Amino acid sequence: MADAPAVLIAAISGRALAASARRGGYLPLVTDFFGDQDTLAVARAYARAGGSLRRGFDENALVHVLQTLSERHDPIGVVCGTGFEDRTPLLRRLAERWRLFGNGAERVARIKDPAFLSALCNNLGIPFPRVSSSKPEAQTEWLAKRRGGAGGAHIKPMTQSVGGRGDMYYQQKLPGKPVSALFLADGKNAVLLGFSAQWSSPARRQAYRYGGAVRPADLGPLTATALAAAVRRLAEATSLVGLNSADFLVDGKDFWLLEVNPRPGATIDVFEPPQGSLFALHLAACTGRLAEPLPYPEGARAAAIVYAESDIALAAPRDWPDWTTDRPIAGSAIKAGEPLCTVHACSSTATGARTLAEERRELVLAWTRARRT
């Protein structure tokens, strides 16, 4: 691996991207907010990102960290994961210094603008919930969202006070189950990698906090075909590149696009192929080489986030089960509500995989409760 190309990875959590990069023959130079055991194990070099989960990336600190990582390893470019949707000036600054393997600042700003996406969907014939920049009167029929928000924690019911932040917008609340489409794009065309069903892990004042995902989603063939066609039209109209995801709400035969995530995201774990690397496919698509759809084995795969129920101090090393990732290092201090780890599960059915993932999540939480008592 000494001659393998080095690539910078910046994300809220860089572990999944870094592991996929290794599988694809790259040396990951990683910065994120966690520095977990398994991230450190696969990273060629690591440095903690400036900023915090609550505030996001500190621009100057992140640039400094990436510059430091670059000095000894001469990376071919940078891949940005979750955490940049509301930091487009930072994306622009990174692209001026390194080759950006992914969507640029202007493209991200455009696709994350709800007014633009609403108008685009109207032109493309893709169902999209009504959006408003001003607070609607019928509070039970709307949700408040933050522009560029990720992970669902920013979504608030209108019956809950959301303050007067200028980056909030309002989206019509509709029935249905959340389904996400993961796809590769090369600026002109798109290849659908698959659909996942997603669920929330509600917390106080965070009713829609991201909980996990399972592949495959339970979709009828006509609905799956319609969602795939919508993804292709979106990718063509917006010139997206690399790994992206489109989040839908599906209610029987009806569906609505909720948002587009123009970067590699949370479902890498459930879609990483047994042979190959999504990271390698991402880099190839960003350079105009679009892969064929990946073959996945029969069965289902799920991943769920375990959030700390109370403050946890991990003073000593712990033997984590092999079905966990994002394992904190000894000495870590995890605050209540922050991610503690990720649990994984496979089964013959999506229901079985999700059930097993939730059982394993409860096992980790039971361990944390035993520590408190």
Q: What is the CATH number of the domain that holds 243?
A: 3.30.470.20
| pLDDT score at 292 | 81
Q: With CA atoms as reference, report the closest residue to 34 among 368, 323, 327, 337.
A: 327
Pair 243, 307 in one domain: no
Number of domains in the chain: 3
- Domain final position from 261, 286, 311: 286
Please report which helix (H) or strand (E) contains residue 97, including its range. Answer: helix 88-97
Q: How many CB atoms lie within 10 A of CB 55?
A: 8
**Amino acid in the structure at residue 123:** N
Q: Quick check: is 291 in a domain? A: no
Pair 207, 231 in one domain: yes
**Distance between CA 237 and CA 234 in Å, rounded?**
5
Across all residues in the chain, what is the average pLDDT?
Answer: 92
pLDDT grade for 296, boundaries at 50, 70 and 90: confident
> What would the two tokens of residue 151 be?
């992970």
Pair 32, 131 in one domain: no
Alpha carbon 104 to its chain centroid, in Å, reads 17
Pair 349, 221 in one domain: no
Residue 316 has pLDDT above 80, yes or no: no
Residue 73 CB burial class (10 angstroms; 0-12, 13-18, ≥19) = middle
Strands 6-10 and 27-31: parallel
Residue 92 CB burial class (10 angstroms; 0-12, 13-18, ≥19) = middle
| Domain ranges, residue 17 | 6-101
- pLDDT average, residue stretch 238-255: 96
| pLDDT score at 162 | 55
- Domain final position from 246, 262, 286: 286
Pair 138, 54 in one domain: no
> What would the two tokens of residue 326 be?
């994002």
- Domain final position from 76, 101, 126: 101
> What would the two tokens of residue 191 be?
């290849």
Pair 31, 120 in one domain: no
Cβ pair 208, 155 in contact under 8 A:
yes
Cβ pair 42, 22 in contact under 8 A:
yes
- pLDDT average, residue stretch 84-96: 95
| pLDDT score at 373 | 58
Residue 291 has pLDDT above 90, yes or no: no
Residue 102 backbone dihedrals phi, psi, to 5 degrees: 155, -170
Pair 322, 273 in one domain: no
Residues 6+ apart with CB under 8 A from 66: 8, 10, 31, 78, 94, 97, 98
Cβ pair 297, 276 in contact under 8 A:
no
> What would the two tokens of residue 366 be?
């039971």
> What would the two tokens of residue 75 be?
């990376």
Global pTM value: 0.94
Over residues 198-215, the pLDDT tens digits come to 999 988 888 889 999 999
Specify whether the backbone of 265 is left (phi greater than 0), alpha (psi in -120 to 50) or beta.
beta
Q: Quick check: is 294 in a domain? A: no
**Distance between CA 119 and CA 168 in Å, rounded?**
18
Q: Quick check: is 213 in a domain? A: yes
Alpha carbon 192 to its chain centroid, in Å, reads 17
Q: With CA atoms as reference, report the closest residue to 74 among 11, 4, 22.
A: 4
Q: Quick check: is 292 in a domain? A: no
Residue 134 has pLDDT above 90, yes or no: no
Cβ pair 312, 371 in contact under 8 A:
yes
Beta-bridge mates of residue 260: 246
Give all strands (DSSP E) within 131-189, no chain letters: 131-132, 142-146, 156-157, 168-172, 177-186
Beta-sheet strand order (sheet of 190-200): 254-261, 241-251, 177-186, 190-200, 210-215, 300-307, 339-347, 324-325
Cβ pair 330, 315 in contact under 8 A:
yes
Pair 250, 321 in one domain: no
CATH code for the domain in which residue 75 is found: 3.40.50.20
Pair 117, 215 in one domain: yes
Q: Quick check: is 293 in a domain? A: no
Pair 58, 123 in one domain: no
Q: Quick check: is 348 in a domain? A: yes
Give the three-state DSSP class for 12.
Answer: coil
Pair 214, 358 in one domain: no
Please report which helix (H) or strand (E) contains residue 5, including its range. Answer: none
**Distance between CA 343 and CA 360 in Å, rounded?**
7
More confident residue, 140 or 161: 140
Q: Quick check: is 267 in a domain? A: yes
Q: Quick check: is 205 in a domain? A: yes
Pair 112, 57 in one domain: no
| pLDDT score at 71 | 95
